[in-house]
A = this chain, B = another copy of it.
Amino acid sequence: MADTSESAQGDRVRQLEADARRSGMRITPHTTTIIQILDESTDHPTAEDIFERARERDPSISSASVYRILNKLEESDLVRRQRLDSDRFRYEIADECRHHLVDLDTGQVVGITDPEIDELKDKIAKRHGYEIVDFRLELFGRKTGGGS
A residues near B, CB below 8 A? 83, 101, 103-104, 110, 112, 114, 116-117, 120-121, 123-125, 127-145, 147
Contacts of A144 in B (CB 8 A): 129-131
State how many angstroms separate the Cβ of A1 from the closest Cβ of chain B.
Answer: 20
27 A-B contacts (beta carbon < 8 Å) = A83-B83, A101-B130, A104-B133, A110-B128, A112-B124, A114-B120, A114-B124, A114-B127, A116-B120, A120-B120, A124-B139, A129-B145, A130-B141, A130-B143, A130-B144, A131-B142, A131-B143, A131-B147, A132-B139, A132-B141, A133-B141, A134-B139, A134-B141, A135-B137, A135-B138, A136-B137, A136-B138
